[in-house]
Amino acid sequence: MDAVLELRDVHTFIGSFHILKGVSFAMRAGSLTALLGRNGAGKTTTLRTIMGLWPAAQGSIRFLGEELRGRPTHEIAALGIGYVPEHRAIFRGLTVEENLKLAERRRGDLARRAEWIFSLFPDLKAALKKPAGLLSGGQQQMLAIARALVPENRLLLIDEPSEGLAPMLVEHVMAAIHRLREEVPILLVEQNLHAIRHLADHYILMEDGRVVRSGPMAELLGNREWLQRYLGVTA
């Protein structure tokens, strides 16, 4: 398998709490992989550990063959990993344009990629001079994703993009992610299974800090027992 990201026996502690307990999985290039599980399963911690925000105490995290464990977050980002955290981490007092410019890794990144970004999120082009805090929830989520697209990243980690959004706005955000997957592999944490059931190629199921199952998305959607046991939903 041509792995873009591979975790092997990753353990993460937050204080005295053992959160990730030997997480292992591989994600191949050209895929959108859904990282799924109930609240508290360790999904967000997995993304933050990949980015070096909560360092792994043990194990290996490799991105395109390079070891990430032990590197500071800015070095990990510079290798080409874009991170869209939960709760839309944007600068609410700055304009949309200023938020995007702050995401530049090299001078001129935004100018080079603006046409593509605004083709995905035309609402942002119309609101360039507007303070980000005045955007709707859906527009703020679009801005958070757009910030990760300003540099030419080779992998996107997106955490709960549908959180708190009305169903119509969820559709807009997921449509943009659907187009994004054609350009860059995506590891997506999402509680809204309905929103991603036809979007993801593969799934990774977590429970209590461990990966318990993984495979093609169709396999998960076809197994009512797993859906109920691990996600509390029915097909």
SS (H, E, C) 173-214: HHHHHHHHCCCCCEEEECCCHHHHCCCCCEEEEEECCEEEEE
Domain with CATH 3.40.50.300 in the chain: 3-80+154-231
Q: Which CATH number fits domain 3-80+154-231: 3.30.1490.20, 3.40.50.150, 3.50.50.60, 3.40.50.300?
A: 3.40.50.300
- CA–CA distance from 184 to each of 42, 106, 172 (Å)? 24, 19, 19
One-letter amino acid at 166 equals A
pLDDT of 222: 95
Measured over the CA atoms of residue 175, residue 86, residue 103 and residue 133, the dihedral's sign is positive
E strands in 29-123: 32-36, 56-63, 66-67, 81-84
Could you give the CA distance from residue 16 to residue 55 in angstroms, rounded to a whole number? 14
pLDDT of 68: 98
Measured over the CA atoms of residue 3, residue 201, residue 86 and residue 107, the dihedral's sign is positive
pLDDT of 182: 87
pLDDT of 2: 76
The H or E element spanning position 94 is none
pLDDT of 37: 96
User: Which regions in the chain score pLDDT beneath 70?
Assistant: 1, 235
Q: Which residues pair with 20 in a beta bridge?
A: 12
Inter-residue contact 151 to 103 (CB < 8 Å):
yes
pLDDT tens-place string over residues 143-163: 999 999 999 999 999 999 998
Q: Which residues pair with 192 in a beta bridge?
A: none
Could you give the CA distance from residue 78 to residue 153 in angstroms, rounded to a whole number? 9
Q: Which residues pair with 207 in a beta bridge?
A: 210
**Which phi-psi region, left, alpha or beta, contains residue 207 (left: φ > 0; alpha: ψ -120 to 50)?**
beta
pLDDT tens-place string over residues 93-133: 999 999 999 999 999 999 999 999 999 999 999 999 999 99
